[in-house]
Amino acid sequence: MLHSRIVAPAPAQSAGLLPRRELAAAWTLMILLAGLAWALTVTQSRDMGMEPGTMGMALPLFLLLWVTMMVAMMFPSVAPVSIAWARAIGRQSAGAARAARIAQFAAGYLLSWAAFGLLAYGALAATGRLVDSHPGAGRWLGAAVFLLAGLCQFGPLKRVCLLHCRNPLAHLIRYAHFRPWARDLRVGVHHGLYCVGCCWGLMIVLIPLGVMNVAAMAGLAAVIFLEKLWRWGPWLTWAVGIAFLVLAVLAPFQDGLLPGLEMSEPSMM
């Protein structure tokens, strides 16, 4: 009798897990959102050049484009964490309520990246003014950005934040003790800040490579995905850091490495 009481409940329900169908739907939704964001980003990039600065965009438009880029680049790598959070809240919520909670998690995550986008906009605006007044400074600025990005790959902040992103379950358990008010939004912000700490050094190379450089964005998205999910991800982190340091040495002598810092020449009529 006692034995039957133990084995009777369905494993998925007793463990608070989502049914396989819902897990598959969640994965599909994350990938579809990332694909849609990539399509919008590529379409927008065709109408914009790769020139220094903010490319004439006002802050609201830049932030809208930035968040779209983050959905494209980050959602594939953050999908496992969002699914793990969905598993954690599976028993507490159902149907539309669970979907709303997951949406709050995603919104909080993107809010962290939007805050970083404010800093990125300021850096790009300053870059545009510098290169406009001193065109030769672009190559040294590019070298400095690559150097900073390379050093970031070996720094303690990268190591701590990457460890969080590679092993989020312990943190998800801690999130369960957060106060109920806007908990899912705050969990998303918290995880997003770790993600920013892990990836900001990668993102700044878009300054010399071009903010709307789709090839560079795709390459960085692949690096971010592999760093977080591949078993050899930490070794990849070091390899990318070395590559950035090499680019820092070459940048002052190879203008082709800095498409995002080259001033477009006026057309001759």
The tens digit of pLDDT for each residue in 43-99 reads 988 878 677 888 889 999 999 999 999 999 999 988 888 877 777 765 555 566 677
Q: How many CA atoms lie within 13 A of 102 on its CB side?
A: 29
Helix (H) or strand (E) holding 71, with range, is helix 59-88
242 CB-near residues (< 8 Å, 6+ apart): 150
User: Which pLDDT score is estimated for 94?
Assistant: 58
The pTM for the full model equals 0.85
CA-CA distance, 258 to 252, in Å (whole number)? 9
User: Which pLDDT score is estimated for 89?
Assistant: 65
User: Which pLDDT score is estimated for 16?
Assistant: 46
Would you list the domain boundaries of the chain? Answer: 18-261
User: Which pLDDT score is estimated for 22?
Assistant: 64
Residues of the chain with pLDDT under 50: 1-16, 266-269
Q: What is the number of H-type helices and E-type strands within the chain?
A: 12, 0
User: Which pLDDT score is estimated for 130?
Assistant: 92
Task: Indicate the residue type of 9.
Answer: P
User: Which pLDDT score is estimated for 17?
Assistant: 53
